[in-house]
Structure 1
Amino acid sequence: MDWSVVRRLWEKWAPSAVGSSGQPLKAALLINYDPTGPSRLVSTIAEQESIKADPIEISEFVSFVKRNKLQMETFFIGPNEYLVSSIHESWFCARCLNTSMQAGEGAIVIQTSALLLVGLYEGSIGSASRAMVALDQFAAQLGRRNF
């Protein structure tokens, strides 16, 4: 994988999609992930924006994805616990169980051939739709380069 290309794509995409008020995502993570690789290969945080993810926590999240029991377990990102609410072919959505936000919070996880793209957003259905569009744009750029 050409990490310099991935980094350039991220650096171009993240400022317009993640962070400040009015952007579709409050935070995003890009995790190196190969579900077919040997278990000794540890998934790593390739990029992150507006979040300081803990590597051990991310390792537990990757294990959650690998177990593929998405609707039977919950997962954590930061202090928040998430429950998967819908599953699609290469992505899933989850709602935060312990949010203090009145409108709620959610996560969208997209799996490409070698990466997990995680987007966190605040709000409900409209916010989730905007978050999905932003994540899908980045995933499409990765897909054009077979990442």
Structure 2
Amino acid sequence: MEWGFVHKVWDKWASNNISSSSGEPLKAALLINYDPTGPSRLLSTIAKQEGIKVNPIELSQFVDFIKHDKLQTETFIIGPNQYLVTSIHENWFCARCMNTSKPAGEGAIIMQTAAFLLVALYDGSIGSASRAMAAVDQFAWQLGRRNL
């Protein structure tokens, strides 16, 4: 694993795309080590996080949600929010927050790369989702250059 490369790319990407103010496309993001083909004894861990603190129990439940392919039948929790999957694509899916108090709503984009799950959280609706997806795609493309 090229940790130096991952950390460098994350730090630059996070500083340009994640902020709790409304200027950036994402309010938080989480990078999780994830290899679905690896031995079951290998636990997924948080490689990087920005704008959110996820505890190990939440991480474990989220990874189980992904591993058991429950996208269409169950919800998942990240931080204080519960999400419902709204669209599923080849290596990513979108979800909307079910318990938000924000008028425009909140959403999540989860993308799987060869070695990671990228969880990106954003505030807003369709326009915000488009900006968030562009940010997620940019990071995934950079990891893909090294097959990560």
The alignment's TM-score, normalised by the length of structure 2, stands at 0.98
Any idea what the Cα deviations from partners look like across 1:96-131, whole Å, max 9, x if unmatched?
000011100000000001100010000000000000
SS for the counterpart of 1:109 is strand
> Could you tell which deviates more after superposition, 17-26 or 78-87?
17-26
Structure 1 residue identity aligned to 2:123: E
What is the percent sequence identity of the aligned residues? 71
**Per-residue deviation at 1:16?**
0.5
Mapped to 1, the partners of 2:14 and 2:22 lie a distance apart of 14
Any idea what the Cα deviations from partners look like across 1:30-85, whole Å, max 9, x if unmatched?
00000011111110000000111112101110110011120100000001000000
Structure 2 residue identity aligned to 1:30: L
Structure 2 residue identity aligned to 1:79: P
Mapped to 2, the partners of 1:118 and 1:107 lie a distance apart of 7
Runs of 4+ in 1 over 4 A off after TM superposition: none
Structure 2 residue identity aligned to 1:87: I
Other-structure match for 2:77: 76
Other-structure match for 1:117: 118
1:15 aligns with 2:15: yes
Other-structure match for 2:45: 44
> Could you tell which deviates more after superposition, 18-27 or 77-86?
18-27
Other-structure match for 1:5: 5
**Per-residue deviation at 1:4?**
1.1
SS for the counterpart of 1:146 is coil
| Number of equivalenced pairs | 147
Other-structure match for 1:65: 66
Specify every segment of 5 or more residues in structure 2 that has no aligned partner in the other structure, as ranges.
Answer: none
Other-structure match for 1:131: 132
> Could you tell which deviates more after superposition, 17-26 or 85-94?
17-26
